[in-house]
Amino acid sequence: MTGGAATRAGMVPRTALVGALLALVAAGLYAAPAQSQPVKGSYLYTLSSFTGPVRHDFSRLAVDRARSEVYALYQNGIRVFNESGMEVYQFGEDLDLGLIADIAVDDRGDILLLVYRGSRAAIIRCNYRGEPQSEIALRGVPPEFEDFAPNRMVSQRGTLYLASTSGLKIVTADREGAVTKGYDLFRLFELEDKDRGNVELGGFSVDREGNMLMTVPVLFRASVLSPDGTMIWFGRPGGAPGKFNIVGGIVRDSQGNVLVVDRLKGSLLAFDRTFDFLAQFASSGRKPGQLIFPDELAIDDRDRLYVTQAGKRGISVFTLTHAARRGQ
């Protein structure tokens, strides 16, 4: 029987069979079972009030881990959300404090506001209702930090971390404002004078061990700075999964993984303790679970991620799940 007759009789030529098998593999129908991801992010909801999602752009975030509450700062107003993502309180717009640049919650539940009155920065301690109680003044600032103008603030286990994202400086202080250390990031980044003013931080956070996590968008990199001044860099530019376009917020989860926002991709990238790429989730778009130019990132003790974004999309909340490790 000729080849043409065989085909007409229903016998598939070898080349066609190989092509069909390749198509099945590409479609995932003839592939081996997929390995579970070490970490996975799933969309939960958007922070809301009783009238619907709170559609702020680019809020500043703080998490009260002990009380499972989230604070969102937007245009000098602070909104407080409970562990279900519903607004329970708001304050700030009626306070005559100046421009509120950032917010933090300390381990005692006090609310800390980083404010500017003209060019002067101050830290205002408030009670749980947002009522000002006292002012914290930084004392013992090193002479080389006289021009220090912080715009980011984190409170972690009784220590204040203040960062200037454009000045590339970080100061740590105790809860009463006594400065304990200063970090000149310009020197630690080993930048040249021509880079001054062109390099700034995209994201900034502090983990429970006091390590400072940062992203540097123009360098397409992220770094972890230990309290002793040791710095570790990771990340490479590119559009493929695991590589950086425009990086933003950065945090560490309960397993020691590092999560990084990629603004251009609209995604969250996960790396393990040694900064090997684990997973990427979310994408750019307006559907539930998608993000529009995400920016800031915060995380709570239940590994829920809070992501700010543009496009009047508000603050999206994702939950992390971790695959069981071998031997556990």
Q: What is the pLDDT of residues 196-234, one digit of tens each?
A: 889 999 999 999 999 999 999 999 999 999 999 999 999
Across 166-186, average pLDDT: 96
pLDDT at position 19 over 90? no
pLDDT at position 79 over 90? yes
pLDDT at position 151 over 90? yes
pLDDT at site 36: 58
Query: pLDDT tens, 245-279?
Result: 999 999 999 999 999 999 999 999 999 999 999 99
Tokens representing residue 277 in the block: 């790429």
Q: Please, which pLDDT band fits residue 115 given cuts at 50, 70 and 90?
A: very high
**For 31-40, 89-98, 111-120, which range has the lowest pLDDT when averaged over its residues?**
31-40
pLDDT at site 325: 55
Percentage with pLDDT > 70 across the chain: 88
pLDDT at site 9: 37
Across 83-101, average pLDDT: 94
Q: Supply the mean pLDDT for the chain.
A: 88
Q: Please, which pLDDT band fits residue 66 given cuts at 50, 70 and 90?
A: confident
pLDDT at site 54: 96
pLDDT at site 146: 87
pLDDT at site 222: 98
pLDDT at site 323: 86
pLDDT at site 118: 86
pLDDT at position 147 over 60? yes
Q: What is the 3-state secondary structure (H, E, C) of the chain?
A: CCHHHHHHCCCCCHHHHHHHHHHHHHCCCCCCCCCCCCEEEEEEEECEECCEECCCCCCEEEEECCCCEEEEEECCEEEEECCCCEEEEEECCCCCCCEEEEEEECCCCCEEEEEEECCEEEEEEECCCCCEEEEECCECCCHHHCCCCCCEEEEECCEEEEEECCCCEEEEEECCCEEEEEEEHHHHCCCCHHHCCCCCCCCEEECCCCCEEEEEHHHCEEEEECCCCCEEEECCECCCCCCECCEEEEEECCCCCEEEEECCCCEEEEECCCCCEEEEECCECCCCCCECCCCCEEECCCCEEEECCCCCCCCEEEEEEECCCCCC
pTM for this predicted structure: 0.86
pLDDT at site 52: 95
pLDDT at position 315 over 70? yes
243 CB-near residues (< 8 Å, 6+ apart): 235, 236, 237
The yes or no reply on domain 35-322 and CATH 3.40.50.720 is: no
Percentage with pLDDT > 90 across the chain: 80
pLDDT at position 30 over 60? no
pLDDT at site 306: 98
